[in-house]
Amino acid sequence: MLRYLLRRLLQAIPVIIGTTFLTFILLEVVPGDPIAMMMKEHIDPDVVERVRKEMHLDDPWPQRYVRYMAGVLRGDFGESYKTRRDVGELLANAFPATLALTASALLVAWGIGIPAGIIAATRPYSPSDHAMTVFALLGVSVPVFWLGLLFQLIFGWKLGWLPISGFKGVQYLIMPAIVLGASSAAVIARLTRSSLLEVMGSDYIRTARAKGLRNLIVLVRHALKNSLLPVVTVMAIQVAELLSGAVITESVFGIPGVGRVSVKAIQQRDFPLLMGSVIMAVVLVVVGNLIADISYAYLDPRIRYE
């Protein structure tokens, strides 16, 4: 198991090199100049030229790539062009907000999604199943910014129950968690339902029933665990996705997370900051998938890793 873990983590290295390299090349190819972007209307060609030189932006790209990656190996993720802040620090400071938002959104998503899926699956085509389908459809199709504004209008302003924007306590997370969690909940609910329905029709469930086990025991002990395999895969992807930043939710609710940092980095062509965000996202995806793979073994005893 330990060897497996180690091997999987080592596999992440070529993934990181590959993605950073691709990001780097993409940034080379697309038009845009970070200094011109920073100066906006104050563009002064002499200043742009000088600062580009001072920041070594005119060096050949392989040289810049190698220099950057050498820095990364030493734990130095460089300095943001625009804010001149340390990239590692910027991302590390933004991460807690994203972690809190992710955790609370997933609490909503899974806390609602899995039970809803189970209820729908145990009573297929009943009113509660249809209600769940409608809820799922709404959850997936309502845009986050619209739902966010609606919540702000109702709960933030009209009723005044919750703060509209900011990040200073648990009460600030309630609206964003629900808004962000809603679409993930819908996906999880649909997936749980279909997967559970499939398992419920299989032979061993019939056997379990034939033994005279109660419905609840059949469901929880026998059916649910097996049916959760595909759900866990999606859950892992959701974790990684949300941890890489939910930029719209972060913007609407003024949460200082990594999503806003990395989107700004793209807009500004803030290369060190963008590379830092990419590396972070890659590590999160790799770790997320790893956790999913390990939990497979817990869910399905036939799966083993050597």
Partner 1 sequence: MVNRASLPRLMAILAIVALLALGGCMPAAPGAPAAPAPVKAGVKTLTIAQDTDPGTADPQLTTEEYFLPLNLYDRLVEAVTTTPGKSELQPGLAEKWDVTPDGLKYTFHLRKGAKFHNGDILTADDVIFTFDRMLDPAIKALNTDFLDMIAGATARMDGKATSTSGLKKIDDNTVEITLAAPFAPFLANLATPAGSIFSKKYVEKIGKDFGIKPVGTGPFKLDSWTYNSELQLSAFDDYFRGRPKFDQLIMKIVPEAQTQALMFRKGELDAFDLDYARSQIPEFKKDAQWKDRIVSGPRVGTYYMSINSKIPPFDNPKVREAVMYAIDRQTLIDKLYYGTGIPAKGILAPGLAGYNPDLPGFKYDPEKAKALLKEAGFPNGIEMTLNQTVDSPSTLKMNEALQAMLAQVGIKAEIKQMDSAAWSGTRKEGKLGSYTSSWSADFNDPDNFIYTFFAPRNAVARSWNYENKAVQDQLEKARVMTDMQARYKLYQEIEKTIVYQDFAFVPLFHLEHLFVVHPKVKNFKVSWNGWSNMPYYGIEIVE
Beta bridge partners of 79: 86
| Closer CB to partner 1, 5 or 15, in the complex | 5
Would you count residue 44 as binding partner 1 (CB under 8 A)? yes
The verdict on 41 binding partner 1 (CB under 8 A) reads yes
Total number of residues that touch partner 1 (CB under 8 A): 82
Chain positions 129 to 158 lying near partner 1, rule: CB under 8 A, are 145, 149, 152-153, 156-157
Stretch that binds partner 1, among 61-69, 77-85, 184-192, 200-208 (CB under 8 A): 77-85
Q: Which of residues 170-189 bind partner 1 (CB under 8 A)?
A: 170, 173
Least CB distance to partner 1 at residue 154 (A)? 11
Phi and psi torsions of 40, nearest 5°: 45, -125
Quick one: 22 or 43, whose CB is closer to partner 1?
A: 43
The DSSP call for residue 202 is S
The 9-38 site mask, x for binding partner 1 (CB under 8 A), equals ---------------------xxxxxxxxx
Q: Name residues contacting partner 1, limited to 195-224 (CB under 8 A).
A: 224
Tokens of 277: 């965000």
Give the binding range for partner 1 (CB under 8 A) out of 121-129, 165-173, 211-219, 280-288.
Answer: 165-173
Answer yes or no: are the C-beta atoms of 101 and 252 closer than 8 Å: no
Task: Give the separation between CA 30 and CA 24, rounded to whole angstroms.
Answer: 10
| Token duo for residue 262 | 């990395």
* Lookup: tokens for 202: 């299989």
Cα of 13 vs its chain's centroid, Å: 20
42 binds partner 1 (CB under 8 A): yes
Stated as kind and residue range, the H or E segment containing 137 is helix 127-141
86 phi, psi to nearest 5 deg: -70, 125
Looking at residue 79, the DSSP 8-state letter turns out to be B
Interaction residues for partner 1, span 78-97 (CB under 8 A): 80, 82-85, 90, 92-97
Residue 3 as a binder of partner 1 (CB under 8 A): the answer is no
By CB under 8 A, residue 256 contacts partner 1? yes
Q: H-type helices in the chain, by residue range?
A: 2-29, 34-39, 45-54, 61-73, 87-122, 127-141, 144-151, 174-200, 203-210, 215-217, 225-243, 247-252, 258-268, 271-299
Burial class (CB in 10 A: 0-12, 13-18, 19+), 125: exposed
Q: Are 286 and 15 in contact (CB under 8 A)?
A: yes
Map residues 92-131 to x or -, x wherever contact with partner 1 holds by CB under 8 A: xxxxxx-xx-xxx-xx--x---------------------
HSE (side-chain half, CA atoms, 13 Å) at 57: 20
Nearer to partner 1, 16 or 248 (CB): 248
Q: Does 251 bind partner 1 (CB under 8 A)?
A: yes
- CB closer to partner 1 out of 61 and 298: 298
Q: Which residues are paired to 110 by β-bridges?
A: none
Determine, following the binding rule CB under 8 A, whether residue 253 of this chain makes contact with partner 1: yes
Nearest distance from C-beta of residue 225 to partner 1, angstroms:
5
User: Is 75 an interacting residue with respect to partner 1 (CB under 8 A)?
Assistant: no
Smaller CB separation from partner 1, 4 or 133: 4
Contacting range for partner 1; rule: CB under 8 A; set: 187-195, 197-205, 277-285, 291-299: 291-299
